[in-house]
Structure formats: C-alpha cells, structure tokens
Structure 1
Amino acid sequence: MSKKSIAGIAFFMHVAMAVAVAQHHITVSVTDASNERPMPGASIQLEGTIYQGKADAAGTAIIRHIKAGTYTVIVTHLGYQVEKQQVALRGDQHVHVSLQRATLLTDEVVVQATRATENTATTYKNISKADIAKNNVGQDIPFLLDQTPGVVISSDAGAGIGYTSMRIRGSDAQRTNVTVNGIPLNDAESLGSFFINLPDFASSVDNIQIQRGVGTSTNGAGAFGASLNIQTNTLNDEAYAELDQSIGSFRSLKNTIRLGTGLLNGNFSFDGRLSRISSDGYVDRGTSNLQSFFLSGAWHGQNSLLRANVFGGKEKTYQAWYGTPESRLTGDAAAMEAYAADDGLTPEEIENLLNSDRRYNKYLYDNETDNYQQTHYQLLFSSALTNQLTLNTALHYTRGKGYYEQFRNQDEYVDYGLSPITVNGGAVTETDLVRQRWLDNHFYGGTYSLAYKDGVGFELTWGGAYNRYEGGHYGDIVWSQYPLFTDRAYSPSTDSGFSTAYRYYDGDATKSDFNTYLKASYQIDKFSLFADAQYRHISYAIAGIDHDLRDLTQNASFNFFNPKIGLTYQLSAASNLYASYALANKEPVRSDFTDWPIEQTPKAEQLHDIEAGYRVRSRQFNIGVNAYAMLYKDQLVLTGQLNDVGSTLRRNVDDSYRIGLEFDGRWAPNAWFAWAATLAYSQNKIKNFIEVVGNVENFYATTDISFSPDWVASSELSFKPWQPFEVALLSKYVSRQYLDNTGNANRSIDGFLVNHVRAAYHTSFWKLKNLGITLLVNNVFNEKYASSGYTWGYYLSETDRVDYNFYYPQATANFLLGLNLKF
C-alpha cells in the first residue's frame, strides 16, 4: 500500500475518533408502565452510536461522553414493546422511559443464541434486508455479499447465476459455517454450502450476520474462516403481495412472487414465495434453469412463538466447472494443441477448443448437466419462560437427491468392473458411454438454546444440537455405444447405442454430529467479559464401493473442545475496543478420506484465532478496524496432486497461518451522499511445505497458501440527488491469487479491479406501496478477468516441468434490469 493510502486511512480514523470525544451524559431510567416499577436489565441503545447498555438493579443506565446533538434513545426488554425517545442534548440530561407489555413475541429471539452484538469481542458485520434487496436482481447470495470485508466471489458460468462460490479471508465454503435460523446448512460430508440448491433464497432472508474468524459457538460445521448466520422472513403485520421481475444479459430472467397474510386474528401469519431463474450464462452452454419456493406459517403468542418453514429448490445446470485453459485465453494455438494431446481431447473437442474464445466450455454433450433437488423442513419454537429466561428449540429435516450426467469417450470396460466383450470375433475393450453419479441423502436433527439474563449485566446461554446424516453415493451407466456384456448382440448397421441401467458402484455414509456449548458474558462498568466453551463429537462411517471401484469401508470419530474468551472495553458511547482468543477444531471432509489409501487417514485440523479491534459509530461515521492471527495446526491444504477424475487432493501440513488487518467503514456526511469502503491485507503462509508432483517432491521453507490474496478492497459510492433516486458506483479489487501452494506467479490468477454501476428508483404510485426499478450494470468498464481456477502438471524429467493452468473467466460488461411492485 502507498504512503498516501496509509496516511488517508490514518486521517479517516483520526476524524472518526474525534467524533467520539466526550462532552455530556444521558441518564436513562426505565420503568414498567403498568406499575412504574424499575426494570433492571432493560437494553438501552443510542441510535447512530455503538452504545449498548443495560439498566442496573434500579432500572437506570448512564450513557457517558456524548457530543451535543439530537439523538434517539431506544429501550427494549423481552416481552415489552420497543420504545424510542428523541433527546436534544445540550448538556447532561435525564430521560425517563416507560415500557408497555408486548402482545406478541418477536422473531428476533430465534437467532439470539448464535448472534454477536456490539459488546461481543468478535469481528462481524450485519447485512439488513434493505442491504440485500438493493442488489437482489437475480444473482446468487455470494454476489450479494461482495462488498463485505475480505470476500472474493466467483461464478462457474461467469455471470453470478448457477454455481457460485465465495472465500472469506482466503477460506472456502468448506471452512465457512452457514446456519439458517440456527440450523446447519453445510453439507454434512463435503462441509460446503451450495446456494444453487436454494436459488433466489435471498428473497426470503430478513438479515445476515457474517462473523469472520472462529466467531461465537454455533451449530453445524466448525468455522475456520467465517460464519454466515441467516435469518429468514420475520413477521409482517400487514398483508402484502410483491412481484420481482428481472431481465438481463445472456437471456437472464428472474420471476419472483411473494405473498403474506399479515397478522390474522391477532396470532397467525403466513408467507410464501415462488421463484424462477434462468440464464444462458456467460460461458458457452453455461445454462441454468432454477426453481425455488418458500412457505412459512407462524403462531405468535405473547410469550411464545411457533413457526414452521418449508423451502427448497430444484436446479438443472449445464456443467461449466472444467474452466478455460490459459492457452485459450492467450490465443496460443501451439500451446492449445499441446494441451489437447496431453489431455486426450477428441477431434471434436480439439476443434471446439481452437475455434472458441475466453467463453470456452470443454463439454459438447447435450445433457452434460447437474440435476439436484433439495427440500428443507424446519419447526421452530421460542418461549419467554420468564422475563429472564428464554427457550429456543428447533427440529429440522432436509431431503436431497440428484445427479450429474457425463458423456465419456472411449472409457475402458475394466474401469467399471466389466470384462471386454467380443464383437464379430474381436475383443472390444473400450466404449463411449453416458454415466450418472448420484447423491441421495437425508439430514435431520434438533437444536436448542436456553438463555438467562439476570438484568444487571450477566448473561448465560446453554445450547447445542444433534444432527444425523444418511447419504447414498452410487453411479449408473445409462447408455453405451457397445453393449456392456457379450450376451447382447451388436450390429453396427442397425444399433446406435444401448440404453441400460448398470450400477457400477454403490456406497453409503452416515454421520452423527453432537455439540453442546455454554456461553457467558458479564458487563461491569466499561468492561464486558465474554467466555464460550463448546464440546463437539462426530462419528463418521463410510461403506461400500466408490467410483474407482475401491472398497471404502472405514470409520472415524472425533471429539473436539472449542473454548473462546474475549474482553470489550467501552471507550465512550460511540466506540469500544475488543480482543478475543478462540480455539477451533474441524474434521476432514469426505474426499480427504476417499481420495487416499484407507491407511493414510487424514488428521483433524486445529486453529488458534486471535482477534483485536476498534469500533466507532456516530451519525456520520461507522467504522471498524481489526487485526487477526489465525494459526493452524495440521491444516489440510492442496498438494498439487490430482485424483483419477482431476479433483485436487489435500494433505495435512504441520504449521500454517493467516495474519491480517481489516477495515470496514461508512461515511454519510449528508442525506444525498454516502461512501462505504472495506480493505483487507493479509499474509497467508505455510511453513515447511512439500509439493508432490508425480514422483517429484519440492520443498518450500515458507510459501503462500493458494487462493489467498494479499489485498482485497471494495468501495461503494452512493449518490441520492433526490429522494426516490439513487445511483452508486461499486468497485472491487483483488490482488494476485496463487493456484497452488508454491507462490509461483506462473501458476496464479492476475489481480483485478472491476466496477459496477447500480441505479434505482423507488416510489409509491396509485395503489402500489412501492414501484421500484433497479438497473445493475456489472463490469461497466469491460474488464477481462478471472477470479478462480486450478492447475495441474507433471515432470518430463527431474528438471523439465509441464504445467496447465485453467481459469473461470467472469463476464464482461453485462446488465440486469429489475422491476419491483409491492401491493
């Protein structure tokens, strides 16, 4: 970073701290409106600042060191209505607030056990429903989170529709814990989260909290890079109907309808959504055909809430996951031909490669598609047992089933456990075929939390979950050029292939995941102490035959203890400092067990996460600065080797780390202009790494972790020349990423700067509550860039190495135009 940039950030922080200079105090006393008794434990916030306090035993809180100005005091208490009171502060002032009993328990209680607050010593960011809606015109959830710190996104088909991915602090989806209403979303075996199975899910999301690093204890897979805590729709008091329609480049279409009854008979509400998204994709034949739904019904009582959610999606996506060879991007015909020979491309595939461009897709078979359907069932119950004690429980079940279909050119019979056949007296050992690889799984369990607040600064939460996964993995040959068995007659003049249903492998897996945690926080004067301990037990069993015909039968179990501790110091009503330490452990994923000989059992990973930061809030500034050190033991990293189908292999390394600084700020000096910016700098290293390429081993004393850029930055400049209209420039910079763990620039992704423009107009019209038009022009300056990729290679001799790099080109300039009608 340049000296000017550092000076600019220093000046920005200086100005922000100046905003928080102490001047006056506000004393807030809280009573019950029905009897005027003091209400200890009432939560008190000062809108536009970081301050979050509790009323003491006398129902009183003092907000210190506040600049003169007009503020809104917000007072909440479980079981009572929220009260707001505006204060014109010119000197020390006393405010009295009376709270009325609430008639209904709100939905916010559902996720309170897994959420961080301003007093929690955790690095996090909240994204509201309004923030999500600004960019929600068809692209997937990772693209809607692109402006958050340390995030790098990518799309297989290039346009943000279909298979998308997201890394936070260089950590991929396998290291990011995702929950929906506190229920795990990560796949139990791969530990990844596939939002393609829930297309347009953002249209049913009320808010998201991203916790970077280990964060607080939650259910599901261990967080090694971040956590995404998603809450779905909450209560709408009034009935509504809403239509969202989008069109865009690459024949992209989105149709969404949302309906809600509002509150019926004072206790019931129902909400629903239907969505359809389709796109041809930027990459050739990178089509997506996606459908989804969301249904929710709730009973709202004064002290209890019962909600049932059913949601799911169905996707058919043409495969675009092979990537584009580097030689195709550079137009090097000789290099393309060399690659084609090494990879065994057919004449048709070679012609496709030579005559394509950066939108190249290797696959030519009409039905080279991924097909999957997933449905989630959730039953959530919350109850305020007393003013101090809250219970949350949930039952869940997820059903998933689907396959991807592949055309295979001249595969050998022996690879499928078959003997060569005899045709016209001669042996046939190879055949063209079409195969399907299936997943058929069930995931079910329950979660719980019991939260106690004593009203004078002490909070205790006990929670946990038990989840079980049962999954089938099997593969079928559904068509072949030649018969699979000799007893089937073959006549080349009349037969054009054979439909069949031969299952060449079949296996299953079961996984049980039990966890329980205890969290405690204690606030005294300006200090807030946080402690959290989680115990997690995993039992994993694999049985049967894998796709390479190996018997994979094996068992593994893990017992993890994950403690966390943190301290927050309130500098003023507007700012605080925090520091925390967390220990996390994480089990290997399925491929770590299946892609190596059974006797080479992978180890669990361990992470020591140290976080420290400064937060400041004012009416004009909203700033967070933090430093972190994520120190790994036995981290599973890419070795440079590939399995038999070209997937990357991982091995444990003894010592690795991620150390970085992050900045997240927003400046809104007036009603018509705002600037939000993030900046993340990190060093991501492995010590004593051995790269294995074929039979050659290369040693690196210290080297870079793959897909971990040193710099990630974003900026959103927003202008509102008049109230219904907004225009914004969104920018994203990502520095060089390495495709493997060697730090070799010849096997890397160039850094890129990409800009988008968003224009929106929202107004009420006639009987419409909202008439909204949003135009999103992505990559407005037509940058040709890639955001992800992979590499493979081999040695011709001990010193002569051949490498092939593959990239996922992202779309050049393109647009999405959305129309929102709300009745």
Structure 2
Amino acid sequence: MKKLFTLTILACMTLFVSAQTVTGVVVDPSSGDPLIGATVIEKGTTNGTITDIDGKFSIVITEPGEPVLLVSFLGYNPQEVSVMGDGNVSLGNIELAPDGLGLDEVVITGTMDIVRDRKTPVAVSTIGVREIQAKAVGNVEFPEVMKNTPSVYVSSQTGFGDSQMWMRGFDQINTAFLLNGQPINGMEDGRMYWSNWSGMSDVATAVQVQRGLGSSKLAISSVGGTVNIVTKTVENQQGGFARFMVGNDGYLKGTLAYNSGLVGKWAVSALVDHWQADRKWAEGTFGQGQSYFLSVGFKPNERNTFNFLVTGAPQNHGQRWSQSLETLEEDPKFNQHWGLDSDGNILSERYNYYHKPVMNLIWDFDIDERTTLSSVLYASFGRGGGTGDYGRGRIRTEEGQVDFAAIEASQSGIGSFGDNYARRASVNNHQWYGNVTTFKKNLSPDVDVSVGADVRFYRGDHFRQIVNYFGLSGWNESFRHATRPSDYVVNESYSVNPWAALTNFAPEGQRIAYDYSENINYQGAFGQLEYTPGNASTFIQGSVSNQFYQREGRWSDIGKSDSVNKLGYNVKAGASYSFDLSNIIFFNAGFYSRQPFLDNIFENIRYSNDFIEPEIENENVIGLELGYKLFLESFAANINLYNTNWGNRTNVSTFNNDAGTPDDESDDFAQRNIERGISQVHRGIEIDMRYDFLNGFLLKGYASFGDWKYTAIDRVTVFNDDTGALIGEEDGSDLSDVHVPNAPQTSFGIGASYRWNGISFFADYNYYDRLFQRNNFNSSETFLREEIGTLDPYSLIDAGVGYRFNIGESGLELRANVYNVLDSFYINQTDPFGFLNGNGRTWNLSLKYIF
C-alpha cells in the first residue's frame, strides 16, 4: 500500500510538471465584445471548456505534439487554432466571423443586465458552468454554489430545497433574482423557494452575483443585491450526456440531456431527470422530484433570433422546522414532524409539494449595426403548497414522533377542530405573465443609451384543503366563513403529488380555514445612459414603476377590497477609472423608493380586506459603494466598501408557535406580528481574490466584515392569528445596539481547484462568526430591545474529485463530492421559536457518459 501511494504521488507530480495550459479570449470581430459561452475543444478529444462572462477560457492540453483547438459559437463560423510552442501559451483574442445564419447561444444581454468585471462600476462575482456542475449538482441546494462569494451566506437546511440565502445581511426576500432577465422573486412577498428551482444546477451556464444596488435597470427589490441566473439555450455541437448519481441516505438521480446542434435554421436542447431519497440528512426529510428543460432556437434571417424555453422542477419533500437547542444537542437529526401511518409507511406532517412550470420567449432584433431591440415574454403557473396539522387531536409516540396509526385508530365519523386531527395543505396557486423589453442605441463610440419597459400581471389563489382524514368520514368546517351553517361538512381529500396538483385542488365548497386571492399589476419603465471615454466608464440609471394591489376574499370578508396604487422609483449612478488597465477604482450611489409587498399592507391577509391604518408608505433605501479592482496576468483582487441605509420598513409576518418538542405543543397557535417603521444600517468591507498558477491550479479567497444594526422601530403589534386577539403592543424604541440576526457579520473562505488531463479537484473552507440570534421584537411574550447572544462560530470543508477519459469520440466522467467533510455539528440560524442546524456530512458519486 505504501509503495502504491508513493507511485501515485510520483505520477501526479509528473503530470503536474508536464501539463500545458492554453488561454485566450473569444470576441466578436466588429464590436470587440466577448462571446460568452463559446465552446473551445481540443480537436480529436472530448476535452473542452466554454468561455466565461469576459469571453476568457483556459484549457489544459491532454494530447502530445502540436494540438489544435476548435473554437465555435452559434451564429459564427467555427475556427481551428493551432497551439505553437512549449509550456503555457496565451492565444490572445480569437475573432470568430459571423455566419449570418446561426443562433446566439446565450440569452439576450439587453434584458439580462450581465456586466463585465473590468468595465462596470459595481461589486460583482461570476460563477461559471464548470464550478456550478462540480459543486451544486445532486443532493446540494443551488444557492450553495454562491457561498464562496463575499457577503453571501447560505443557511443550508435539512429539507430538500429549504435553504435560505443572505447578501450583505439582507435576506433573500430583499435580494433580487432573475432568470434570463425574468424576475422570479414572489410577487406577493418577495420570497424565494429553492425547491422550485432544483433543476437549475444542470441547466445554468453562469450565475452572476451583483452585490448592493448593482447594475440592473429594473425597479426590483435589490436591497442586498441582484443574482442573474443564465441558463443555456441551444448548443452548437450535436450530442448529449447520460448521468447516474448516488448519495447518502438513499439518494438516487438519473439525468439525460441531448442537443440537436444546428439543423438549418433550428436548434434544440433538452434535459430530463428524476431524483429520490429516503431523507436528506435529518429524520423525516424524504423527497423525490423531476426536472425538465427544453430550449428551441430559430433564426429566420440575419437580423432576428428567437429562443423558446420551458423548464420546471416538480418535487415533494418532508420538512423540519426549528427545534429547541437541547433537542438538537441530544440528537441533531431529530424531527418531530414525521411518523408511521397504519400501513407502516413514513409520513410527514410538514410536507412541501409544488410544480412551477416556467416558460419564456426571447426575441433579439438587430435593427442596424448600432441599434438593438431585446425582449423576453414569460409566464409561470405555480401549483401546490405545504401540509400541516389541522385540529387538536395529535397523538405522539414516546420517542416524540407523530403516531398517525394511533390517530386513525381513535377517530371515526365527522371530525371537528377541537377534538380531532386531520392533515391539511395550505395551497398557493398562481398565474404570472410578464414582459421585459429593452431598446439599446449606440449614439457614438463612447455613448450608449438604453430604455425599456417591465410589465407584469399576477394572480395568486390561497386556501386550505384536507389531504388526509385519518379515519374520519368528513370534517365540520364553518369557522370564520360568513355564509356556511354551523353543521357544514367537507368530505373530499386531495393529492399532494406535484403533477396532480396542476389540476387537482379543492373547489370553493371543499376549502377550509381561509380562501382568498391577490391581484397585482405592475408597470415599469427604465432608462440608462453609459459614457465610456478613454479609461473612464460612467453610467446613470433611472426607473419608475406603478404597482396595483387588490385582495379578493371568499371567506370571512367576501368581495374585493379597495384597489391601491403605489408609485415607486429609483435612481443610481456610478463611475470607474482605469489607471493602466490593471488598477481600477469605482464608486456608485443610488436611492430607491420601494413599494411595500402586498402581504404587508393588509391587517390580516388571510381573513380581511381591511388595510393597515395608517396607510403603509414606501420604503427608502440609500446605497453608497467604493471599490478597487486589480487585474494582473494571473492574479485578480477586489476590495469594496459599502454603506446601505434602509428605512421606513413594514414587516407583517405569521409564525407557527411550535417550539419543536412535544412538551411545548399544547400552546400551539399562529402568531401574527405587525412591525412598523423599522430602520437599519448595513456597512462593511469585502475582499476577494484569485490566483491562477502552476498549470491548472486556481486559488481563490474572500473575506467579509460587516456591521449590520437596526436603528429604530416605531411600533410592534402582535396578534393571535387564529382568533384575532391582541397579544401585546408597544410603541417606538431605539434599536441602535441591536444587531441584524441570521447572517454572519464576519466570514472568510479559501478554495483551491485543479484541472489537468481529465483530472479535476476542488476543496473549499468557509468560516462564519458573529452570527447573532434573532432578537426579541418578534416574540409573543416580550418586546425587549436588547441583544440575546450570538451563535457559536463554525467552519465547513467541502471537497470533490473527478476524472474524465475518452472512449473514441465519446467520454466518461466519474465524480465524487463530500460536503461538511469533518461532519461538524453547527447551528446556522434561529427563528422566533427555536434553532436550526445545517446538514452533517453528505456525499454524492456520479458517472456521466458524454456522447
């Protein structure tokens, strides 16, 4: 064994010494713009790569002699480039001539707001397709690929798709997410549910994280930053892949993808997969789902390009909510929300199921050499929800799990809320249509102007339905309904299968607890002027938007509410100066007048058409940023200073008062908090760097130091959401000594990767500190405005290794990843009623056949 180990080390050292790395930049010959996602392949092999946001590529040669690179991009003539010389070689700019018939491979940058590091004066980090597919495929949440970015914190949770993300201390409600130019935050409350986007790891070609106000032209909720997710459209080369993956706790995944290549004026790319698992890591977190992706490209003539895309990720998974600290320290995998039914099958009381097909049609019109029109027309149709208990008849085992078999054995006849138990689903269906159109004109070599429109139409339907009666023949349900008699009974149950949820949900007569709809219409206009004289780059942006709100009740408050229109706007400007193409400084500033979310303007969104009085006004956001960028041949670094003031916030939130242990559940209730006039300041410094060295080795690091505090709150009012009873109220307080919780205000990380001759490896270390617990102004018992402590600092190590080898014109790739290598136990978040911990050691192993 020792001899084998020594030989292995010597072989690796030999490979390391003899490796040859070739770099270059693929550009458009007329504009000089980089071609993002161009394919670079070592001719005669399957060894290849694609260009990044700046058009750059780096490839390690695998064959001896004088290799030839085949460089291609849809819409351009492919080019063969000979690599001359020994050692590392830089090919400089490679210009591809347009063929006049092809298709653009990457979605329209006019609606994407993709920026290049060297030019645009914002703090930005870009993650490429190789890193995405190496680190975030399988039993890992998609946001995990961004956790090595300064000021980005991903709180991994133990349910599939339940992770949360923070940027500069702002949660994902206040971070804007775009998919190919399409806003995807929830229209009602800004939330992101990553379970709906589990297929992104397989179809994303890049993720760009713009911290702070960023460069997005849209009037979107980018208080913390903007995340642009770029999916692939159609690919130049014919072929595809089949992959099989296994992981811990019974995780299985199979994926099949195919690209037609360019056939006349058409090209098609498609992907489907299926996954399932006994659990993610904690008990009762089983799950399964599918992903599908179809992209069809068409170019009828030289000036027009169309691309149609449809994607979705139907899924269902068991969930785990907060626990007491004592419970987690005794058993980190404990989950009080699952049990066995009468047939011995595992069943989760807290269970998420959803199917959200998303489609968009992209049109790119080159009006002339200096004028373009870009437009994305999109739609999504969400169906599904989350399950929970209904009634006071829960029975538990001695171990603390729900005893579904005992519940069913104890029940018969018509049930009622005070005496019996059923499992309900809170359904959240929606229809969402929109369009983003951008017109861009190059007025001179130094001046570009862009104007556009952003229009959205949204309707969300919310109600509850029963999915399991556990031996009951029906349920007496008249509570809070304005017209139902006291003996009204519902008796139908509905599937929690995400495919069935598209059409199988309760009609009005079978709905329980509440039933209402929310209508939102949004109209926005935006503009941008860019001036880039010499070594300078400047921009100024502005947008204005009108948002229409209306609630329609069908339960305790029948009819439509009054309609409300809120006008919002923003203005931002920035400038950068390059001293010598290697040293760049930048500054930007902006102001947002942001409309409140619909859910934050009603007294009780579930039961009432009445607005909160006095009327909720717009939030105000002021952002300032100063940065320095350094670019050398093999080294790059960024330093950013930021200050964000966020004032006049209103937060209306509902919590289930479930402390996570059986002894505390006798006092379960839904608690609703109305918090008005919240203000806070987030300031900090961010540092990140990368060093390419030694034939395929890449070293990356980052550090973030924040000082995020509340400054004041005007009023807090707390209600029992089930009964409407007032629990408590208190007027304004000084919060200047209260830190913003749930994201570490100190973090740093370092990562290394290596790629040569089919071998790839990565290892990442992340450290988190000054992670404050949630403070008490969300508590039902007190309104104390004081610190209640910090969570223990913790660190995580992730690592992965892959090997790819050729089989004729095909290839095989074997990859193994391990997350939380040391199996560390850590608490990564709190909520008003308990603690949440991340996953222990998890792993996956995959075999991919490329054809």
With structure 1 as the length reference, what TM-score do the two structures score?
0.77
Q: 1:754 to 1:78 in 2, by over 3 A?
A: closer
| 1:728 and 2:762 aligned | yes
Q: What is the match of residue 313 of structure 1?
A: 313
Q: Which amino acid aligns with 2:115?
A: A
- SS of structure 1 residue aligned to 2:357: strand
Question: What pairs up with 1:148-159 in 2 under 5 angstroms?
Answer: 148-157=149-158
Question: What pairs up with 1:389-404 in 2 under 5 angstroms?
Answer: 389-404=371-386
Q: What is the match of residue 6 of structure 1?
A: none
Q: Which amino acid aligns with 1:759?
A: V
Q: What is the match of residue 297 of structure 2?
A: 298
Q: 1:754 to 1:551 in 2, by over 3 A?
A: farther
| 1:465 and 2:454 aligned | yes
Q: 1:708 to 1:96 in 2, by over 3 A?
A: closer
Q: What is the match of residue 225 of structure 2?
A: 226
Q: Distance in 1 between matches of 2:359 and 2:568?
A: 28
Q: Which amino acid aligns with 1:516?
A: A
Contact 1:283 1:360 in 2 (8 A): yes
Q: Distance in 2 between matches of 1:457 and 1:408?
A: 64
Contact 2:110 2:374 in 1 (8 A): no
Q: 1:461 to 1:278 in 2, by over 3 A?
A: same
| 1:512 and 2:521 aligned | yes
Contact 1:543 1:554 in 2 (8 A): no
Q: What is the match of residue 778 of structure 1?
A: 819
- Pairing partner for 1:653 from 660, 677, 682: 677
Q: CA deviation at 1:746?
A: 4.2
Q: 1:673 to 1:612 in 2, by over 3 A?
A: same
| 1:709 and 2:740 aligned | no
Q: CA deviation at 1:100?
A: 3.9
Q: Distance in 2 between matches of 1:673 and 1:396?
A: 41
Question: What pairs up with 1:329-478 in 2 under 5 angstroms?
Answer: 329-331=328-330, 357-364=332-339, 366-368=347-349, 369-410=351-392, 429-478=418-467
Q: Which amino acid aligns with 2:682?
A: R
Contact 2:770 2:790 in 1 (8 A): yes
Q: CA deviation at 1:478?
A: 5.0
Contact 1:449 1:461 in 2 (8 A): yes
Q: 1:162 to 1:525 in 2, by over 3 A?
A: closer
Structure 1 unmatched ranges of 5 or more = 1-29, 33-38, 54-74, 89-94, 332-355, 413-422, 488-496, 793-805
Q: What is the match of residue 575 of structure 1?
A: 583
Contact 2:332 2:825 in 1 (8 A): no
556-565 vs 78-87, which moves further: 78-87
- SS of structure 2 residue aligned to 1:536: strand
- SS of structure 2 residue aligned to 1:454: strand
Q: CA deviation at 1:682?
A: 0.7
Q: 1:589 to 1:250 in 2, by over 3 A?
A: farther
Q: Report Cα offsets for 1:713-750 as digits up to 9, x if no partner.
A: 22112245x53323322111111322324686645432
Q: CA deviation at 1:477?
A: 3.7
Q: 1:485 to 1:762 in 2, by over 3 A?
A: closer
Q: CA deviation at 1:763?
A: 2.6
Q: CA deviation at 1:262?
A: 0.6
| 1:534 and 2:543 aligned | yes
Q: What is the match of residue 286 of structure 2?
A: 287
Q: CA deviation at 1:250?
A: 1.6
Contact 1:359 1:809 in 2 (8 A): no
Q: What is the match of residue 685 of structure 1?
A: 709
With structure 2 as the length reference, what TM-score do the two structures score?
0.75
Question: What pairs up with 1:421-820 in 2 under 5 angstroms?
Answer: 429-478=418-467, 480=469, 481=472, 484-485=475-476, 501-545=510-554, 553-594=561-602, 596=604, 598-600=611-613, 601-636=615-650, 646=670, 649=673, 651-689=675-713, 695=728, 697=730, 700-719=735-754, 723-741=757-775, 746=788, 748-768=790-810, 770-792=811-833, 806-820=834-848
- SS of structure 2 residue aligned to 1:189: coil
567-576 vs 297-306, which moves further: 297-306
Q: CA deviation at 1:359?
A: 3.0
- SS of structure 1 residue aligned to 2:550: strand
Contact 2:166 2:172 in 1 (8 A): yes
Q: Distance in 1 between matches of 2:447 and 2:83?
A: 28
- SS of structure 2 residue aligned to 1:193: coil
Q: Distance in 2 between matches of 1:717 and 1:520?
A: 39
Q: Distance in 1 between matches of 2:263 and 2:94?
A: 30
516-525 vs 295-304, which moves further: 295-304
Contact 2:648 2:678 in 1 (8 A): yes
- SS of structure 1 residue aligned to 2:737: strand
Q: Distance in 2 between matches of 1:101 and 1:248?
A: 44
Q: Distance in 2 between matches of 1:85 and 1:476?
A: 65
628-637 vs 779-788, which moves further: 628-637
Q: Report Cα offsets for 1:197-234 as digits up to 9, x if no partner.
A: 13222211121211111112344732111111122113
Q: Which amino acid aligns with 2:381?
A: R
Q: Distance in 1 between matches of 2:315 and 2:208?
A: 26
Contact 1:283 1:361 in 2 (8 A): no
Q: Distance in 1 between matches of 2:748 and 2:184?
A: 28
Contact 1:595 1:649 in 2 (8 A): no
Q: Report Cα offsets for 1:637-658 as digits up to 9, x if no partner.
A: 6899878854674523353110
Q: Distance in 2 between matches of 1:625 and 1:174?
A: 26
Q: Report Cα offsets for 1:95-133 as digits up to 9, x if no partner.
A: 999874442352446123412233211111122212212
Contact 1:43 1:77 in 2 (8 A): no
Q: Which amino acid aligns with 1:703?
A: V
Q: What is the match of residue 22 of structure 1?
A: none
Q: CA deviation at 1:517?
A: 0.7
Q: Distance in 2 between matches of 1:195 and 1:550?
A: 33
Question: What pairs up with 1:160-171 in 2 under 5 angstroms?
Answer: 161-171=160-170
Contact 1:638 1:741 in 2 (8 A): no
Structure 2 unmatched ranges of 5 or more = 1-26, 39-50, 56-70, 86-91, 341-346, 395-411, 479-489, 494-509, 605-609, 658-667, 719-726, 777-784
Q: What is the match of residue 187 of structure 1?
A: 186
**Identity value in percent:** 18
Q: 1:257 to 1:700 in 2, by over 3 A?
A: same
Q: CA deviation at 1:87?
A: 13
Q: Report Cα offsets for 1:374-394 as digits up to 9, x if no partner.
A: 111211110111110111112
Q: Distance in 1 between matches of 2:231 and 2:844?
A: 25
Q: Distance in 1 between matches of 2:598 and 2:285?
A: 27
Contact 2:576 2:586 in 1 (8 A): yes
Q: CA deviation at 1:816?
A: 1.1
Q: Distance in 2 between matches of 1:198 and 1:397?
A: 15
Q: Report Cα offsets for 1:786-816 as digits up to 9, x if no partner.
A: 2223124xxxxxxxxxxxxx22222222211
Q: CA deviation at 1:461?
A: 1.0
Q: Distance in 2 between matches of 1:814 and 1:624?
A: 32
Q: Which amino acid aligns with 1:215?
A: G
Q: Distance in 2 between matches of 1:515 and 1:383?
A: 22
Q: Distance in 2 between matches of 1:708 and 1:587?
A: 25
Q: Distance in 2 between matches of 1:681 and 1:638?
A: 30
Structure with greater proportional strand content: 1
Q: CA deviation at 1:464?
A: 2.1
500-509 vs 135-144, which moves further: 500-509
Q: 1:593 to 1:638 in 2, by over 3 A?
A: closer
- SS of structure 2 residue aligned to 1:130: helix
444-453 vs 584-593, which moves further: 584-593
Q: Distance in 2 between matches of 1:308 and 1:531?
A: 32
- SS of structure 2 residue aligned to 1:572: coil
Q: 1:615 to 1:636 in 2, by over 3 A?
A: farther
Contact 2:296 2:307 in 1 (8 A): yes
Contact 2:463 2:511 in 1 (8 A): no
Q: 1:661 to 1:716 in 2, by over 3 A?
A: same
Q: What is the match of residue 176 of structure 1?
A: 175
Q: CA deviation at 1:80?
A: 7.3
- SS of structure 1 residue aligned to 2:313: strand
